[in-house]
Amino acid sequence: MSDTTITDIDPAGDVLIICYKPTDDGDKVLGTLRISSKVLSLASPVFGAMLEPSKNLNDSQTNLESDVKRLKIQCESLDILVNVMNITHIQNQRIPATVTLIFLYDLATWCDTYQVAEALTPVINRWIEILWVPRPPIGHDQFAVDMEWMWIAKVFHK
C-alpha cells in the first residue's frame, strides 16, 4: 500500500479497510479506513462472515502483533465507503445532507453487493425524499433516470 494515510471512522477501531479499485495496471488503493468490527458485523452479514475469527477468507488477514484485522474491499469510489462507514458508525456530523442521484445509484450497487442497505435506511430515506422529483431535470434521459430509480428502489426496498 503506497499511501499510509488512515481515515479514522472509529479511532479505537480494530479493523482497517483497504479500499481499492481494479485497474489494468493492478489494484489502485483509494484509501484506508479504521472501523469497528462489531459495528460492521452488525451492519452487514457479508462483512460479519469476513470478520468471523473461525473463517480464513482471502479478503481478510490479521496482524497478530496488533490484533488489527485488514479487509481489502473493492469500491469504485472512496466516498461511497466513507459514507457507509460514517452512517453505520453513527458519525452524523460527517454525513452529507444530500447526495446526487448518480451517487445514490452507485451506493445502491455497493450496498447490494455487501448487503448493508438495511443499516442505512434512515439516511437513505432522507436522501430519497430530497432527490425525488416527478420529472427529471432538463437534459436528462427519462429512461436512464427511471432505471436508476428502479435499481435504488429494489436495493433499498422502496
pLDDT computed for residue 140 by the predictor: 64
Grid cell in block for residue 25:
495496471
pLDDT computed for residue 11 by the predictor: 96
3-state helix, strand, coil in the chain (%, to 5): 45, 20, 35
Q: What is the pLDDT of residues 60-74, one digit of tens each?
A: 455 444 688 999 999
Q: What is the distance of C-alpha 4 from the center of its chain?
A: 20
SS3 30: strand
pLDDT computed for residue 70 by the predictor: 94
5 or 107: which carries more pLDDT confidence?
A: 107
pLDDT computed for residue 145 by the predictor: 80
Neighbours of 94 (CB within 10 A): 13
Residue 43: band (very low, low, confident or very high) from pLDDT cuts 50, 70, 90: very high
Residue 144: band (very low, low, confident or very high) from pLDDT cuts 50, 70, 90: confident
